[in-house]
Amino acid sequence: MQKPSAHPFSITLRANQCPRGTFSWTVRQRGAIGRKQSLTPYATFEEARLAGKAVLDEMVESWRREALHTAAA
């Protein structure tokens, strides 16, 4: 059985300049131009982290399904 490879995504959380005291997230795929980012500010770092992680998890799952489909073909 082959060990699954690490996914090519990274998540960044940051404090926003405007409105102050809010946070946002960005998920990027290594080697790709596209990215997903929060469209609304979050009141706390933890809210932004959880929302970004949910998107990251969806992207990883989709990437793994595609990798399995490609390997099976």
Residue 3 lies in a domain: no
Residue 17: pLDDT above 60?
Answer: yes
How much is the pLDDT for 34? 80
Q: Which two tokens stand for residue 40?
A: 């609304």
Exposure string for 53-67, b = 16+ CB within 10 A, e = fewer: eebbeebeeeeeeee
Its domain, for residue 35, covers: 9-72
Q: Is the dihedral of CA 54, 59, 60, 62 positive or negative?
A: positive
Query: pLDDT tens across 21-68, in order?
Result: 999 999 999 888 889 999 999 999 999 999 999 999 999 999 988 888
Residue 2: pLDDT above 60?
Answer: no
CB 22 within 8 A of CB 43: yes
How many domains does the chain divide into? Answer: 1
Q: Is the overall model pTM greater than 0.85, yes or no?
A: no
Residue 67 lies in a domain: yes
Residue 2 lies in a domain: no
User: 1: pLDDT confidence band, cut at 50, 70 and 90?
Assistant: very low
